[in-house]
Amino acid sequence: MSETQTAVVFDIQRFCLHDGPGIRTSVFFKGCPLRCLWCHNPESLSVKPQLIDRAHKCVHCGACADVCPTGAQQYADGKHTLDMTLCIACGKCVDVCCYGALELLGKRYTLPELLAAMKPDQSQFEAGGGVTLSGGEPMMQAAFVTAFAKALKAQGIHVAMETCGQGRSEEYRVIAPYIDLFLFDYKATGTDKHRKLTGVSNALILQNLELLNGLGKAIVLRCPLVPGVNDSDEHLHTIAQTVQSHSAIIGLELLPYHRMGETKRVQLGQSESLPEVLIPTESEKRRWLVSLRELGCHPVLV
Amino acid sequence: MNHFKVKNKRQGMDFEIAFTKAYKEAREKYAHPAQVELACLQAQYPAILHPIQEEDLFAGRLDFGAVGLGIQHQTGGFGFFIDEARVTWALEHETGSAAYREGLHELLTFWRSENTGAKVMRDMPADVREALPSDEWDNFPLPATPILRMAGTYLDFDKLVSIGIPGLYAEIEGHLKREEKNGGDTILFQCMLGSLDLFVKVCDWYREQAMELEKSAKTPARAAELQGIATSLGHLVTAAPASLHEGIQLAWLYGMITPTIEYGRLDVYLGDLYAHDVDTGVITDAEALGMVQSYFRLIDHLDCETDGRAIVGGYSRRNTENADRFCLIAMEACRTVIEVLPQFTLRFNRLTPKPVWDAAMRCIEEGRTYPLLYNDDVLVPAIMKEYGVDRIRAESYVPLGCGEFEFDHYSFATPSGALNAVKILEIAMNGGFEPIGRRPFGPQTKGLKDCANFDEFYDIYQQHLAYYIEAQAKFEKYEYEKAGELHPFMFVSMLYDGCCESGKAIFNGGCRSYNGTLELYGVINAADSLTAIRQLVFEKKILTPEQLLHILSLNFMGFEKERKLMMDCPKYGNDNDAADDMAVNLQKDICRMIIEQAPKVGLDSNFAVIINNAQNTTLARWAGASPDGRKAGTPYANANNPSMGADQNGLTAMINSLLKMPVDNNAGVVQNLRLTRELFQSSREKVYGLIDSYFDRGGAQFMITVVGKDDLEKALDNPEGYKDLIVRVGGFSARFVDLPKDVQKEIFERVTY
């Protein structure tokens, strides 16, 4: 892989506590093959850089409209409006906004640049933390991500990867030696259900789970639970079965649905998702925990 | 101003009138300051003492008057003091006889020119006065101010508790004999004996009170406690303390009337008595804890806001084993007495037993903010180097007040001034013109607009800083001399190394080591401002100096874009070399200038302190908008921390920046770490790892605040000030400040599940 090859990253978050052991730095790679209805990082779906408009910060000064080459940004009667369908993500409006209302998500990094961005957290890596590859789906930029993980391992850094499992099995095989821990999503049971909720069948995903299990890679199964959508008894049963039948699965994490991603959808010019779903109550969360414990698991809420 | 926590405060000013009369008579009658001091102490005690309260296990409460004798602001005032505002209020609002009102008026006019602070300001050398015209930092836009006080009185409590009052009498009598033989200052020692007589009188006063109260005690348990107080006080006048109760009673009461507001290394002077009492079954651990809790509550009743240091742990404790045992009791008292004071402090090192460290972490996790953590393994070598002292001396370091170092009962390092780094930058940019008061100030130099390059401007800034730094060092030395001339502070002199041996009072040549310290405020904002000036004015040439000054003078109004440019310039706290180098170099340059003054003015050392108190707000009030994007009058960054909102790259990046700042060129710096309780509870090991890693990498000190949900609710109104706290949601990408308010609220609410 050449030094100039780049990956698109939409965020680097430091001091993460729920993405693997120790205090971690999470790198969010842009692009995802799934379209989960509950996704809380809607800015991750497209691999291309895209504009986000934080309207609550806008003071309607019109500076963005002055420089927009396509007319996506408009300023009329003292009000700013944005037609996202016309936006080409050139970034000119971002440069002139003084109020932090506009940002281009998705920055290109070369491998040396991304490795340099990890340097500030070196002391955390040495104290039991590490880097977590996240996103989006990191395997959509598999060649770069593999080289990145390899370079981190060469420095003795612990590498975890969050993945939905929807990627080329060969590429999982290639990256596996450089990943210490997989945070593997398990989102729905049953092919049709899975397609309905995520946009893809679960066949490849399950195949890759088998593959990683067979390689003996440490896996934590991560299950987003959305009340009334995928938290049926059947799904909980299958989660338990999956955990118990795969020796490589060393942990089970439940991710209760939250709606904080909805704000971002609006800011990205996307439509609302799952409007009728409420965030899980304490008793709902307890029910999941109790059910899974009764099935012999040790789930953790994240 | 502190509000002493006593029931039934004195009404009216009869005490103040009587004190003034006693002072005048003493001045008339006596030539020696010690005689005047003794007469005034006799007028002050027991007059300002307050009764033992229901909850007290020891005797000793007081309430300083509007006039009296103290040692620093929080003990009534410095030397002979008057609280003019309070007396004026009384004159205007209180009713009373004509004679009484005449007395009040007399107080006001007499003390106005007679109080110690006024004398210090009046007799200041002329060249110093020009740089430091006033000590009223809250009322005037000043670049630098003197502080009128002698702070950091660390008495030799270990000696006091070991030899007791009789032992102290014997020592002073010995010194007196020597002075008589040599024709030295016998009056000083006679008055010291008089002071001890007064202390005995105070003990008797409280003993009688305890016996009276015992008669009407509500419960047998309370009666027993009061009897205990009476018994201890009775013993103390005839023997050295023989129990933990007597030890604490003696230390507390003597300290209270000294007056001091530092409590020394508790585990050293109380550890042996504690161990003895518990091992011989005289008391249980629970009873010992009750005593320490009561001691802490009494310290807190002084309400002095800062100071009130109670220290445990660290190298060179003569009784490590007993001291470490006592540590655990003291730590538990810290955890359970949830008050602002004492500022419980742990000096830790490689040898600190795990239970002590774990107990400390537990306190912090519960949101106590105490103990403040000091890393001996980093600080002792640093102190050896910068003060040029041997290891033993360095190991006796004690932080006073907000963090300034002294050597236990050996040196004074009273911080006697504050430097407003951003205000001075403002003046320097304007070539020596202060824009709020609209007057020239300090050296008249080129301004920013006349500088050809950044280095030239930086040098000019250094010139302005030097002007105040030099004046403040001279002032510090002068203030020691003035204090020495006016105040023997006998209770202090008797328990500081070397005074009695030398035959001199503490500030009159008796103290072994006179050191200066200077409080710096706004250094981080100044550094970030310099980074912005360098980038925007000189490197990228986006703004001319005139434009910059114009924009600042308008507090950015109408210039939001330019403000954004300034705010977007690199800031200290993000592990960014350009910004961090500027902060480190500025700190080094200022510290170097301060250090260089010591031999010039005749102090044993002179160091900067960069500490955490409300001054970062009060001094910032008078500084206009600054080139780091800070709006006029808004608070500076706190101590060594980045300015609020400046750290964008997370905690580990901030810690990296903190670790770049030197530890061996100053007399105390505070680093503030703020975390949520949820973080501790969900990721305890990770947080411990973070703290350990910081100290292993050379971190000197931490003040850790753990914030719970109630505090976070307040934060909803000011999320900008709390964004460093937010615990991540697994896999969720967002910057807190980018979220709308309702979502921010939701994240706060997630913090407790």
Residues of B whose CB is below 8 A from A264? 734
Residues of B whose CB is below 8 A from A13? 650, 728, 733
CA distance linking residue A78 with residue A56, whole number of Å: 16
Q: Indicate the range of A203-207, A264-268, B156-160 predicted with least confidence.
A: A264-268
Could you tell me the residue ranges of all domains in chain A? 6-47+110-301, 50-105
| 8 Å CB contact of B753 and A282 | yes
Asked if residues A110 and A148 have their Cβ atoms less than 8 Å apart, the reply is no
CA distance linking residue B289 with residue A183, whole number of Å: 48
Helix axes B285-301, B244-257, angle to 10 degrees: 10
CA distance linking residue B362 with residue B368, whole number of Å: 9
Asked if residues A118 and B679 have their Cβ atoms less than 8 Å apart, the reply is no
Give the closest-approach CA distance of B560 to chain A in angstroms: 6
Torsions phi, psi for A286 (to 5 deg): -65, -40
Nearest CB partner across the interface for A263, out of B690, B730, B739 = B739
Residues of B whose CB is below 8 A from A127? 689-690, 692-693
- The 8 Å CB, 24+ separation contacts for B319-324 are B319/B268, B319/B271, B319/B272, B320/B351, B321/B275, B322/B267, B322/B271, B322/B272, B322/B274, B322/B275, B323/B267, B323/B268, B323/B271, B324/B267, B324/B271, B324/B353, B324/B356
Burial of B14: CB neighbours in 10 Å, binned 0-12, 13-18, 19+: middle
| 8 Å CB contact of A260 and B734 | yes
Give the closest-approach CA distance of A282 to chain B in angstroms: 8
Asked if residues B116 and B81 have their Cβ atoms less than 8 Å apart, the reply is yes
Nearest CB partner across the interface for B731, out of A15, A19, A57 = A19
| 8 Å CB contact of B741 and A19 | no
CA B25 to chain centroid, in Å, comes to: 35
Asked if residues B695 and B378 have their Cβ atoms less than 8 Å apart, the reply is yes
Identity of the residue numbered B586: L
| pLDDT for residue B736 | 65
Asked if residues B232 and B246 have their Cβ atoms less than 8 Å apart, the reply is yes
Residue of B nearest to A126 (CA): B693
Residues of A whose CB is below 8 A from B651? 14-15
Classify the phi-psi angles of B369: left when phi > 0, otherwise alpha if psi is within -120 to 50, otherwise beta: left
| pLDDT for residue B731 | 63
Beta strands (DSSP E) in B421-569 are 433-434, 439-440, 513-521
Count the residues in chain A: 302
| Segment A193-198 mean pLDDT | 94
Residue of B nearest to A14 (CA): B650
Asked if residues B266 and B330 have their Cβ atoms less than 8 Å apart, the reply is yes
Interface of A with B in 80-119 (CB under 8 A): 96, 98-100, 103
CA distance linking residue B176 with residue B82, whole number of Å: 33
Nearest CB partner across the interface for B693, out of A54, A99, A127 = A127
Q: Is A256 helix (H, G, I), strand (E, B) or coil?
A: strand
Give the closest-approach CA distance of A16 to chain B in angstroms: 6
| 8 Å CB contact of A258 and B746 | yes
Q: Which residues contact A119 (CB under 8 A, 6 or more apart)?
A: none
Q: Is A82 helix (H, G, I), strand (E, B) or coil?
A: strand
* Partner B contacted by A215 (CB < 8 A): no
| 8 Å CB contact of B683 and A282 | no
CA distance linking residue A103 with residue A268, whole number of Å: 10
Q: How many CB pairs under 8 A join A and B?
A: 115
Residue of A nearest to B692 (CA): A127
Among B674, B686, B739, most A C-beta atoms within 10 A, so best to mutate, is B686
**What pTM was estimated for this model as a whole?**
0.89
CA distance linking residue B3 with residue B194, whole number of Å: 30
Interface of A with B in 38-67 (CB under 8 A): 40-41, 43-44, 54, 56-57, 63
Give the closest-approach CA distance of B452 to chain A in angstroms: 29
Residues of A whose CB is below 8 A from B738? 54, 57, 100, 103
| 8 Å CB contact of B733 and A302 | no
Residue A243 has which token pair? 């955990």
* Of B161, B362, B139, B368, residue with least CA distance to B246: B161
Torsions phi, psi for B310 (to 5 deg): -120, 115
Q: What percent of the residues of chain A are helix, what percent strand, and what percent coil, each to the nearest 5?
A: 40, 25, 40
Residue A88 has which token pair? 């080409």
Give the closest-approach CA distance of B571 to chain A in angstroms: 15
Sign (positive or negative) of CA dihedral A3, A4, A5, A10: positive
| 8 Å CB contact of B652 and A14 | yes
Give the closest-approach CA distance of A143 to chain B in angstroms: 22
Nearest CB partner across the interface for A134, out of B689, B731, B740 = B731
Residue of B nearest to A136 (CA): B731
CA distance linking residue A99 with residue A101, whole number of Å: 5
CA distance linking residue A279 with residue B315, whole number of Å: 54
Asked if residues B71 and B54 have their Cβ atoms less than 8 Å apart, the reply is no
Among A50, A107, A123, most B C-beta atoms within 10 A, so best to mutate, is A123
Residue B264 has which token pair? 């020394």
Beta strands (DSSP E) in B463-569 are 513-521
* Of B668, B667, B643, residue with least CA distance to B657: B643
**Which residue has tokens 């006593």?**
B6
Residue A296 has which token pair? 């012999």
Asked if residues B335 and B292 have their Cβ atoms less than 8 Å apart, the reply is no
Asked if residues B258 and B492 have their Cβ atoms less than 8 Å apart, the reply is yes
Among B551, B682, B735, B738, most A C-beta atoms within 10 A, so best to mutate, is B738
Nearest CB partner across the interface for A120, out of B563, B656, B743 = B656
Q: Which residues contact A247 (CB under 8 A, 6 or more apart)?
A: A213
Among A98, A183, A252, most B C-beta atoms within 10 A, so best to mutate, is A98
| Segment A189-204 mean pLDDT | 94
Q: Would you say residue A1 has pLDDT above 70?
A: no
Q: Which residues of A170-208 are buried (b: 16+ CB within 10 A; e: fewer)?
A: ebbeebbebbbbbbbbbbbbeeebbeebbebebebbeeb
Nearest CB partner across the interface for A17, out of B682, B697, B746 = B682
Residues of B whose CB is below 8 A from A27? none
> What confidence tens digit (pLDDT) does each residue in B725-745 have?
654 566 666 666 667 777 777
Q: Which residues contact A26 (CB under 8 A, 6 or more apart)?
A: A11, A12, A13, A16, A19, A131, A132, A133, A134, B731, B733
Q: Can you name the CATH fold of A50-105? A: Alpha-Beta Plaits (3.30.70)
Nearest CB partner across the interface for A15, out of B652, B730, B737 = B652
Asked if residues B34 and B504 have their Cβ atoms less than 8 Å apart, the reply is no
**Would you place residue A14 in the very low, low, confident or very high pLDDT band (cuts 50, 70, 90)?**
confident
CA distance linking residue A216 with residue B492, whole number of Å: 71
> What confidence tens digit (pLDDT) does each residue in A50-101 have?
999 999 889 899 999 999 999 999 999 989 999 999 999 999 999 899 888 9
Q: Is the peptide bond before A224 cis (omega within 30 degrees of 0)?
A: no
Count the residues in chain B: 753
CA distance linking residue B165 with residue B237, whole number of Å: 6
CA distance linking residue B290 with residue B286, whole number of Å: 6
Q: Is the peptide bond before B46 cis (omega within 30 degrees of 0)?
A: yes
| pLDDT for residue B724 | 60
Q: Which residues of B192-229 are buried (b: 16+ CB within 10 A; e: fewer)?
A: bbbbbebbbebbeebbebbbebbeebeeeeeeebbebb
**Would you place residue A170 in the very low, low, confident or very high pLDDT band (cuts 50, 70, 90)?**
very high
CA distance linking residue B165 with residue B170, whole number of Å: 9
Residues of B whose CB is below 8 A from A34? none
Looking at chain B, the whole-number percentage of residues with pLDDT higher than 70 is 95
Q: Which residues of B461-471 are buried (b: 16+ CB within 10 A; e: fewer)?
A: bbebbbbbbbb
Q: Is A28 helix (H, G, I), strand (E, B) or coil?
A: strand
Among B656, B683, B720, B732, most A C-beta atoms within 10 A, so best to mutate, is B732
CA distance linking residue B416 with residue B152, whole number of Å: 11
> What confidence tens digit (pLDDT) does each residue in B78-104 have?
999 999 999 999 998 888 899 999 999
| 8 Å CB contact of A43 and B564 | no
Residue of B nearest to A23 (CA): B686
Asked if residues A211 and A172 have their Cβ atoms less than 8 Å apart, the reply is yes
Residues of B whose CB is below 8 A from A11? 733
CA B568 to chain centroid, in Å, comes to: 35
Nearest CB partner across the interface for B650, out of A14, A264, A302 = A14
Instruction: Please report the DSSP string for A189-219 in residue order.
Output: SSHHHHHHHHSS-SHHHHHHHHHHHHTT--E
Give the closest-approach CA distance of A38 to chain B in angstroms: 12
**Which residue has tokens 């205007």?**
B92
| 8 Å CB contact of A255 and B731 | yes
* Partner B contacted by A163 (CB < 8 A): no
CATH class entry, domain A6-47+110-301: alpha beta
Give the closest-approach CA distance of B753 to chain A in angstroms: 8
| pLDDT for residue B753 | 27
Nearest CB partner across the interface for B733, out of A41, A129, A258 = A41
Residue A272 has which token pair? 């609302």
Residues of chain B with pLDDT under 50: 727, 751-753
| 8 Å CB contact of A121 and B652 | yes
